Structure 1
């Protein structure tokens, strides 16, 4: 986290900016114009590699390993690792491993994401492992889409939650891979 402002000050500045009307109230609205905006490019693009257990018994564990390399053009300071886990996985029992201290994870529905409070320079990689236990009722092929979500945040916003970044409309970019595991009997 580089030169970060206190979170409260950043939120206050952002809230104030969102409350300022884009067009003054006295402006005439007779002419309409359509502005075409180019989609923002990611501040940090990631090359993602995901490995998963190929076959597992129902009730067993699937091990997922995610390795993500920042391809730039800038360092990444607001990013999340995880994704959508299979229907047969119990999110409440997922265990994770990483060398980054202060990692916080949360799950909802089939999504499980972790925030790793570390700046990833261009060319550097991070890795994270997940042990995801299958329910005993799991059958067929279990499909997961896992990787990294990075956000184009302004200075001082790097500690905000994924929900808050999404709510504010901060541009986010997903870099994910789909992996499959067969449930055997």
Structure 2
């Protein structure tokens, strides 16, 4: 597990996951995503105040093309200490960043159609947390053309480069 306290420039990409992805039936061929992700998210069902919630994300690239510009993470609950989030994955050189309540990781690997990746997060719950803690986690992908891989988020937005969010909401009940 690695500590997530270091902020990286990729944190500027946070927030896109909170908007639901456009259903495939609502897109035309011209604006269909380069890579559609199937996302499965699991979370601890219950946690004691001061305990740890474990999140597991499995993302599968359903195609039609390889995925080479994508991030895993999302919006963590209000009752979580964002400075104490840990993550693990088999992908080396993973970089993560935090912006607001959103925490995203860039996994520097190309996922071919049909390939999957698993990422685990452990979030420390604040001692004063109560009720149900809700997180929205998954994948944000970008339709980058050749040569766009070093552009800033602002420039990608200015050019209208499509981004697609594939998120799932999970809940964990705080028990005394």
Displacement of 1:40 in angstroms is 1.5
Instruction: Flag structure 1 segments of 5+ consecutive residues without an equivalent.
Output: 1-36
Contact 1:78 1:159 in 2 (8 A): no
Q: Which residue in the other structure is 2:120 paired with?
A: 129
**Partner SS, residue 92 of structure 1:** helix
Displacement of 1:38 in angstroms is 8.4
Structure 1 residues 59 and 91: alpha-carbon distance in aligned structure 2, compared to 1, 3 A threshold: same
Deviations 1:48-98 (A, max 9, x none): 000000000011110000000000000000000000110011111111000
Displacement of 1:170 in angstroms is 1.7
Structure 1 residues 166 and 75: alpha-carbon distance in aligned structure 2, compared to 1, 3 A threshold: same
**Partner SS, residue 31 of structure 2:** coil
Deviation >2 Å, runs of 4+? 156-169
Displacement of 1:158 in angstroms is 3.4
Deviations 1:85-121 (A, max 9, x none): 1001111111100011110000111100000000000
Pair 1:44-2:44 in alignment: no
- RMSD of the TM alignment (CA)? 1.9
Q: Which has the higher contact order (CA 8 A, sep 6+)?
A: 2
Residue 161 of structure 2, aligned match among 141, 149, 170: 170
Displacement of 1:155 in angstroms is 1.3
Displacement of 1:163 in angstroms is 6.2
Pair 1:153-2:140 in alignment: no
Q: Which residue in the other structure is 1:53 paired with?
A: 44
Instruction: Flag structure 2 segments of 5+ consecutive residues without an equivalent.
Output: 1-27
Q: TM-score, normalised by structure 2?
A: 0.79
Question: What is the alpha-carbon distance in structure 1 between the residues aligned to residue 167 and residue 45 of structure 2?
Answer: 18
